[in-house]
Every structure is written in C-alpha cells, then in structure tokens.
Structure 1
Amino acid sequence: MNPVLEFPITDEILTDFALAIGTDLKGYRNHVYRVLNFYCAVSGIQGLPCDAVQIAAAFHDLGLWTDNTLDYLPPSIGLANHYLDTRQRSDLKEQVSALILEHHKVRPYRATHATTVEPFRQADLIDVSLGRVRFGLPRAFIKTVQSTFPDHGFHGMLIKRSARQFLRSPLRPLPMFRW
C-alpha cells in the first residue's frame, strides 16, 4: 500500500487559505494529507476519496487560524459551506458538515453519512495520536505516511494552543471534542 501523493481539491482550498494559515501551512497540509491517506487505508479505497471527504479534510481544522480558536468546528463548517455555495456544490453541505463536526467525536459515529464520517474520525485520531491508535492499520504503513508527509511542527502547535486554551478556560480545555 503506497501513500497517495496529491489531492488536487484539497491543495486548491489550502492555497486559498495560505495567508490565514501562515507559517503553519506545511504542517497543516501534511496533517491533512496524512489524514486522507489514513482515511483511504481504513476505508479500503484505492486512489482519491470522494470530493466531500477531500473538501472536509481541507476545512476540518481551518477555524484554528481563521478565527484563532480551539472551538474551531463551527467556523470551519461555515468556511466549508461558503466554499460549497460558491462552487454550486450545496448538495455536499450535509455530508461535509458531518465530516467536520464529528471528526473529534469520542465514541464511534453511527448516524447519517457514517460510511465516510467514521473512517474520517478514525483517520484523524490515527494522526493526532501519532499512530499510537491504529484501527488495524499496519505500523509500517503509518510510518511510511508519516515520513512522506512530515509533521513540520503541527503537533507542537496543537499542544501550545491547547495549553493556552486551558489557561483561558480550564473548565472547557478542549471545546472541539464531542461525545
């Protein structure tokens, strides 16, 4: 199993937000690429995932930068919906919104669009856990994806932002998690 090296829809979106993401662009892009590769592997997909998954992947954490908040799910969904409206793809809004909203769900997702949302949730958790949580993926594949798309400080940035959030709101340290 070889990693997918290009996701054109995702790259187009990330290019549009390059200024907002700033110096974190390489790290975020590689996080998105790792998630998409883990998604394909968990789902058993050869090649590119559907447009909804590629679009949601690009937008899933964007509110971190555009709204400077760890409570980034609502702004990320808003950005994705605007993107879909401007491209006459409103038919994907429900699925893209579910993919973004539920990607930090603690328990398995079983509602509408579960066939895409649950593997996307798993893929993000594989990456955020640095491969400690694997959902059956071979360690060798995870390491290959990680070396193909290096971290570039992404996880360190998440830790710093999480620490700031904890100091500001100790009763709501990780507002993006859903039960």
Structure 2
Amino acid sequence: MSNLAIQIKTERPRIEELLAPYRDVIGDDYAGYRNHVFRTVTYAMHFLDGDLDVETTVETAMAYHDIGLWTDRELAYLEPSEAVVVADNEKHGWGLDPDLLREIIHWHHKVYRYRGAHERVIEACRKADWIDASMGWIRKGMSRSNVAAVEAAFPNEGFHKSLLRLAKDYGGSTLIGGIRVTRGIVKW
C-alpha cells in the first residue's frame, strides 16, 4: 500500500479545531507544528489504508503528540502531551479511548517496531512520525514520491528549526537540549 499514490486531505477540520485553543501557546511555531500534524496524519492514514474507523483517533493523537513542548515547556514532552490529550478528551466528551490516545503518543518515537495492543494504529503513527521527523530520510516503506507530495502539500514552515531552537531554549544549549530530548522521548 505504501507505494500507491497517497491520498492527501488538505482540509481536516478536526485538526484545526483541536489545535485552535493552543494557537497562542504554540505562537510563532504554529504553522510549522500544524503542517507537521497534517503530514503525520496523512502518512499514518496511508499506512492504515484510509480506515475511517480510526481516523478521528489518529487525528486527535497526532494533533497532541508533541504539544507538551509548548504547553509544559518540557523537553521530555511525551507524558505532558499524553496528559493534555486525555484531559481534553474527558473535558470535551469526545469518547475516544484514552489508553489508545496515550499509547500512540507514548510510543511515537520508538526506534523499533511497536508490538502489543492496538499495534496496527500505534505502528502506523510511529512510522508516520519517523518519516516526518527525519524529513523523509527514513521512509518506513513510503515511496519518495509520496513523501514529496505530502511535503509539497504541507510545507515545513520552519518546524524542524523550531525543534532545534526549543532544545536550545529549554536545555541551555542545542547539545544539552538534544541529549535531554533523546533521553526523554526515545523508546527502544
């Protein structure tokens, strides 16, 4: 499936609604983060063969997957991001499985394949984030043409530069921040 032409939805109202309350907190990084979310959702849904039964969950988890960087100003942002999505799920009555939302976020930086409950969805989101975090250097079976099409639809808008800036700002230096990020978010 990953070599078939990718379906790109340039409008995802749910993502826009989920991110809107955090626009001021994310600030100048908003356009970059928004497009990162759109890219990761696009890749994940491609790996999931466009399964509409999980689309709302994927959109929600990926909208929140890095949000702790801004809400908690924390380099070890997985647990803060998990807490924000679970709280909003409860507060707004979305009725999504809080464990699945938490697990998608918790495992999205796992280096090796995820195995366990909800493997299909978690693994699709994990692979999607690796593709985008590596700017297509790591493709997890996704074709170069699909990566290029997604990147053209949702430009980077400085997203990866903002990650380096945040590592420096929160960690005291890019090197120390990078080490803290790696220790705080990478799972084996």
Match for 1:113: what amino acid?
A: H
Does residue 56 (structure 1) correspond to residue 65 (structure 2)? The answer is: no
The CA distance in 2 between the partners of 1:89 and 1:173, in whole Å, is: 30
The CA distance in 2 between the partners of 1:108 and 1:78, in whole Å, is: 24
8 A contact 2:37–2:62 mirrored in 1: yes
Count of residue pairs brought into register by the alignment: 179
Match for 2:135: what amino acid?
A: L
Deviation of the 1:47 alpha carbon: 6.5
Quote the residue 1:5 is aligned against.
10
Quote the residue 2:185 is aligned against.
176
8 A contact 1:4–1:48 mirrored in 2: no
Compute the TM-score of the two structures, normalised by the length of structure 1.
0.91
8 A contact 2:41–2:128 mirrored in 1: yes
Quote the residue 1:145 is aligned against.
150
8 A contact 1:81–1:90 mirrored in 2: no
Q: Which runs of 5 or more residues in structure 1 are unaligned?
A: none
Greater shift, 88-97 or 11-20, is seen at: 88-97
The partner residue of 1:75 within 54, 72, 80 is 80
% identical equivalent positions: 32
8 A contact 1:56–1:99 mirrored in 2: yes
Deviation of the 1:122 alpha carbon: 0.1
The CA distance in 2 between the partners of 1:170 and 1:102, in whole Å, is: 19
Match for 2:85: what amino acid?
A: A
Does residue 123 (structure 1) correspond to residue 128 (structure 2)? The answer is: yes
8 A contact 2:167–2:177 mirrored in 1: no
8 A contact 1:59–1:77 mirrored in 2: yes
Quote the residue 2:167 is aligned against.
162
Quote the residue 1:108 is aligned against.
113
* Shift in alpha-carbon separation, 1:173–1:127, aligned structure 2, 3 A: closer
Quote the residue 2:48 is aligned against.
43
Quote the residue 1:133 is aligned against.
138
Deviation of the 1:160 alpha carbon: 2.6
Compute the TM-score of the two structures, normalised by the length of structure 2.
0.87
Structure 1: 4+ residue segments shifted above 6 A: none
Give a deviation string over 1:78-107, Cα, whole Å, max 9, x none: 110111101224551010000001101111
8 A contact 1:39–1:119 mirrored in 2: yes
The CA distance in 2 between the partners of 1:170 and 1:115, in whole Å, is: 30
The CA distance in 1 between the partners of 2:155 and 2:96, in whole Å, is: 34
Give a deviation string over 1:34-71, Cα, whole Å, max 9, x none: 00111112222166852211110110000000111111
